[in-house]
Amino acid sequence: MADFREQRAAVKFCFLLGKSGTETLEMLKTAYKDDAMGKTQVFEWFSRFKNGEISIDDKPRSGRPSTARTHENVEKIREIMKEDRRRTIEEIVELSGVTWSSAALFPRMKRDMKGKRFADVAEVKEKTTEALSSISKDEFRQCFEKWNKRLDKCISVSGEYFEGD
């Protein structure tokens, strides 16, 4: 996983050099490949810099912090995959302790659709359906079982913050 703070610094640098958002996006894609910030993020940061904001830190947000996509978890999964690239999702989940739903379902769809342009809403629906159809019924079942357990846990703790499953 790329360090987005580092990329925001690169965006600020390009902005200060007078580069366009499009030029900056292309440079980030060249440097960071699949880990590059998306177009929306790049243009959002350009807008902030144009409005006089100089910080590259995210604005504070309310709500529960993400517990799955951390640098530690990403590195753990990367190391597991380096050891044996033929591991299944279930093996990676077991070895890493990261839940399957966090590790695979929506990031997988995002990866399949990232950077693509769609002519209309019908095409978005078609491509989303194709991406979802590529996920096995067993994978969906496991995902929803885990979501259901997590929902039950949320209800049992009356919506209070908790770590893990």
pLDDT digits (tens, 9 = 90+) for 125-139: 787 788 777 777 777
pLDDT digits (tens, 9 = 90+) for 83-106: 887 777 667 777 877 765 544 556
Give Cα separations from 66 to 9, 61, 87 (angstroms): 23, 11, 25
pLDDT tier at 1, thresholds 50, 70, 90 = very low
pLDDT digits (tens, 9 = 90+) for 41-72: 899 999 999 988 888 887 766 665 555 667 78
pLDDT digits (tens, 9 = 90+) for 68-82: 667 787 788 878 878
**C-beta of residue 119 within 8 angstroms of C-beta of residue 130:** no
Identify the sign of the CA torsion 142, 148, 154, 156: negative
pLDDT digits (tens, 9 = 90+) for 104-119: 556 666 666 667 777 7
**C-beta of residue 34 within 8 angstroms of C-beta of residue 1:** no
pLDDT tier at 143, thresholds 50, 70, 90 = confident
pLDDT digits (tens, 9 = 90+) for 8-23: 999 999 999 999 999 9
Separation between Cα atoms, residue 8 and residue 50, nearest integer Å: 14
Predicted confidence at residue 66, as pLDDT, reads 56
**C-beta of residue 49 within 8 angstroms of C-beta of residue 24:** no
